[in-house]
Chains A and B, each alone.
Chain A
């Protein structure tokens, strides 16, 4: 039997990441659950090991503690052994625009957790992935990054930055046979969105997780999930700015 793949799941306490780790392990991969809530991650790791019999370990990861990122990648590389290391990036924060407008520091932390932190860990991972000459990166961006909107433009701009970064990283890693999939989820039924008004056609975390794994396997560049969000965002992207600025969406 060949050595299994390893997925390093960054921000593993989120609902989508948790579902992804379960799905990936069920399909035969080992997982490293990285995040800040150690107690929660220990429970998730135990669950995955019991359900799937795969190896599930826990690693400390703080998106804002940039200096520790290279060491985490090194640890993950070692744990993957002769198998392929893959990365699922799911961390980020989404304060409301009103909260951000009331506190400038929240704007910076939103950008740092969604954008700078992601760039930091992926920059550290890039040479390692290039060296192994295979593997996949899946990163959760957002449809909010497709256009700056009144309702969440700081979060949206951080995700827009992430999407642009991932485009470049994709071109770089393509040369080494590593795929980069940018995932733009629409409404997903998670703790972040539970109870928010105006949600419709909400996807389950499991649905999104399965779609992510399938997209990476096929080497898809960009994935809107559920798929119809591609259509919705195409319309939103094409509204002329002089009209768009008047809309309160």
Chain B
């Protein structure tokens, strides 16, 4: 196996790692790569769409899964698809949308991989209805530190399965995943947009649509203050019959270079957010669009992370339980607006139920996500937000995170001890490790082997 010294970053580009990476193309090379990493640390790295340090392994080794991108079997009767870890949501949509199937749930970018979707137990705009990705996984072929590949499911190895779903790659290398695609999909959705005046209006609107709409998502103007705090746009969507609108090929643009850091300032962002709010008529509107455009709005702009300039950015995503949501969100939004640290639209969604993994992010409640350009004071502000989340019984999404402390992690994720028990047993030498795992105290600072 060829190894290459390279620099990898998270999507937020605020976390950076120097690592020796390999990029297997054949199944046999995966085993070789793991064998050659003995006495060192190794982490799988897919599309690099986690924002922080989840898929980074500074000073250790990295297995790039991008070329392990084959679909191995599909059963049209059940919707069960077996795929290698590097298959992307884009591959899934391109292949299956014309046949009436779609991924059971989908993160906000179609460039993410199936392996990453398992590792982060990702959720989408249909979490109330369909849960998170791990809920649809039938089994996983997992290559563990002992060099064995085992097929694990919720029935056959419940502990290892729960440690792998949402486990941030710390149990081994995923070689194949069997998950259930959902049928009766079409490549089009009918999107209904309406303006939402403030936070109370938002919560009332969500309460109304969350059990009936297939997809729902809210965009909040995080810079709006006072009476406008929490204003935004609510989008709900249902599949629309083929032929109800022309299917045009998607136009993409790229961000060719890093924006200078002054490009994003409170004024430009405020203007953008204002326009985003005003573009929806007061009476609301309805459109039929390709579901790709609805589910993956930012995919049409390649390298959009460059608009934050060279220093990069942090994405903050939390969930707060339904009971404390009103107070928690209101405190979070006022803290964010007060800091005035320019951030584009924040995303507000509902989540329906707990995931199956020990580190699964979802819980019944509301999730808020937004970007903060990395500047002086940004980390402190994110920590203040984290404290608000913690005191309200919520948690931070590890796929987005670069800053949570080991103590906070254990407060947010009560099943960390179960995860640690599995890791101690399956990977006693701490081979599978990452910058995130070491930061969170889930793996030793150095491999002990």
Complex alpha-carbon distance, A43 and B30, angstroms = 15
A191 on interface, CB distance cutoff 8 Å:
yes
Chain B residues whose C-beta falls within 8 Å of the C-beta of A196 in the assembled complex: 2
State which of A47, A190, A191, A194 has its C-beta within 8 Å of the C-beta of B70. A47
Residues of B within 8 A of A15 (CB): 25, 67
A112, B24: Cα distance in complex, Å: 26
- Tell me the residues in window 64-87 of chain B with beta carbons closer than 8 Å to chain A beta carbons: 67, 70-74, 81, 84
Could you say which residues of chain A place their CB within 8 Å of the CB of B3? 195
Task: Indicate if the CB atoms of B71 and A50 lie closer than 8 Å.
Answer: yes
A190 to B81, CA, bound (A): 27
Given A43-B72, A44-B70, A46-B72, the answer on whether A194 and B95 have CB atoms closer than 8 Å is no
29 A-B residue pairs with Cβ-Cβ distance under 8 Å, sorted by A, are A13-B25, A15-B25, A15-B67, A18-B25, A37-B28, A39-B27, A39-B28, A40-B26, A40-B27, A40-B28, A43-B27, A43-B70, A43-B84, A46-B71, A46-B73, A47-B70, A50-B95, A51-B71, A51-B95, A191-B2, A191-B24, A191-B25, A191-B29, A191-B67, A194-B4, A194-B22, A194-B23, A195-B22, A196-B2
Q: Within the complex, what minimum Cβ distance (angstroms) separates A196 from chain B? A: 8
Nearest A residue to B84, CB-CB: A43
> Number of A residues contacting the other chain (C-beta, 8 Å)?
17
The 9 closest A-B pairs by CB, nearest first: A195-B4, A47-B70, A195-B2, A50-B71, A40-B26, A194-B2, A191-B25, A50-B74, A47-B71
Q: Which residues of A contact B (CB under 8 A)?
A: 13, 15, 18, 37, 39-40, 43-44, 46-47, 50-51, 190-191, 194-196
**Least CB distance, A169 to chain B, in whole angstroms:** 29
Smallest Cβ distance from A28 to chain B, in angstroms? 15
Q: 7 extra interchain contacts, Cβ-Cβ under 8 A, other than A13-B26, A40-B26?
A: A37-B26, A40-B27, A43-B27, A43-B72, A50-B81, A195-B2, A195-B22
Cα A51 to Cα B81 with chains together (Å): 12
Interface set of B (CB-CB < 8 Å, partner A): 2-4, 22-29, 67, 70-74, 81, 84, 91, 95
Residues of A close to B26: CB separation below 8 A = 13, 37, 40, 191
Complex formed: what's the CA distance from A190 to B23 in Å? 9
CA distance A43 to B81 in the complex (A): 13
Most chain B CB neighbours (cut-off 10 Å) among A15, A40, A191: A191
Docked Cα-Cα span, A50 to B29, in Å, equals 24
Residue of B nearest to A50 (CB): B71
Total number of A-B contacts with CB less than 8 angstroms?
49
CB within 8 A of A47: which of B4, B25, B72? B72
Q: Which residues of B contact A194 (CB under 8 A)?
A: 2, 4, 22-23
On chain A, the residues within 8 Å of B25 by CB distance are 13, 15, 18, 190-191
Give, as a whole number of angstroms, the nearest-CB distance from A96 to chain B. 12
**Complex: how many Å from CA A44 to CA B375?**
46
CA distance A39 to B26 in the complex (A): 9
Task: Give A15 to B4 CA distance when docked, in angstroms.
Answer: 18
Docked Cα-Cα span, A43 to B74, in Å, equals: 12
CB contacts (< 8 Å) of B4 on chain A: these are: 194-195
> What is the CB-to-nearest-CB distance from B69 to chain A, in angstroms, rounded to a whole number?
8
Task: Give the residue among A13, A44, A50 with the most B Cβ atoms within 10 A.
Answer: A50
Contacts of B74 in A (CB 8 A): 50
Q: Which residues of A contact B27 (CB under 8 A)?
A: 39-40, 43
Q: Which residues of A contact B67 (CB under 8 A)?
A: 15, 191
Asked whether, in the complex, the Cβ of B70 is within 8 Å of the Cβ of A46, the reply is yes
Which among B29, B70, B71, B95 has the highest number of chain A CB atoms within 10 Å? B70
In whole Å, how far is A26's beta carbon from the nearest beta carbon of chain B?
A: 10
Chain B residue at minimal CB-CB distance from A13: B26
Q: CB-CB < 8 A to A195: which residues of B?
A: 2-4, 22
Cα distance, A195 to B20, chains bound together (Å): 9
Best-surrounded residue of A37, A40, A51, A194 (most CB of chain B within 10 A): A194
B residues less than 8 Å from A40 (CB atoms): 26-28
Q: Check A50 against B73 for contact (C-beta < 8 Å).
A: yes
In the complex, which residue of chain B has the Cβ closest to the Cβ of A39? B27
Return B68 CB to nearest CB of chain A, in Å: 9
Return the chain A residue nearest B21 by Cβ: A195
Nearest-Cβ distance from residue B406 to partner chain A, whole angstroms: 35
Identify which of B4, B26, B91 gathers the most chain A CB atoms within 10 Å of its CB: B26
**Chain B residue with Cβ nearest A205:** B67
* Cα-based distance from A43 to B84 in the complex (angstroms): 10
Within the assembled complex, what's the spacing in Å between the Cα atoms of A13 and B25?
Answer: 9
Bound CA–CA A8/B45 (angstroms): 33
CB distance from B30 to the nearest CB of A (A): 11
**Residues of A close to B70: CB separation below 8 A:** 43-44, 46-47
Q: How many angstroms from the CA of A44 to the CA of B25 in the assembled complex?
A: 11
Q: How far is the CA of A37 from the CA of B23 in the complex (A)?
A: 18
A47 to B67, CA, bound (A): 13
Cβ of A46 to closest chain B Cβ, rounded Å: 5
- Roughly how many angstroms separate A50 CA and B87 CA in the complex, as a whole number? 13
Contacts of A13 in B (CB 8 A): 25-26
- Beta-carbon nearest neighbor of A193 in chain B: B2
Closest to B81 in A: A50
Separation of A46 and B74 alpha carbons in the complex (Å) = 9
Rounded to whole Å, the gap between the CB of B78 and the closest CB of chain A is 14
Q: Which residue of A lies closest to B71 (CB)?
A: A50
A108 to B67, CA, bound (A): 31
Q: How far is the CB of A127 from chain B (nearest CB, A)?
A: 34
User: Cα distance A158–B10 when bound, in Å?
Assistant: 43
Chain B residue contacts of A44, Cβ below 8 A: 70
Residues of A within 8 A of B73 (CB): 46, 50
B95–chain A nearest beta-carbon distance, Å:
5
Nearest Cβ in chain B — how far from A56, in angstroms? 11
- Shortest distance from the beta carbon of A11 to any chain B beta carbon, whole Å: 13
Contact residues in A for B84 (Cβ distance below 8 Å): 43
CA distance A194 to B22 in the complex (A): 8
A192 smallest CB distance to B (angstroms): 8
Q: Would you give the shortest CB distance from A91 to chain B, in whole angstroms?
A: 15
- Report A68 CB to chain B, min CB distance, Å: 22
Q: Which residue of B lies closest to A26 (CB)?
A: B94
* A191 & B71 in contact (Cβ 8 Å cutoff): no
Q: Find chain B residues with CB under 8 A from A191 CB.
A: 2, 23-26, 29, 67
- How far, in Å, is A189 (CB) from chain B's closest CB? 9
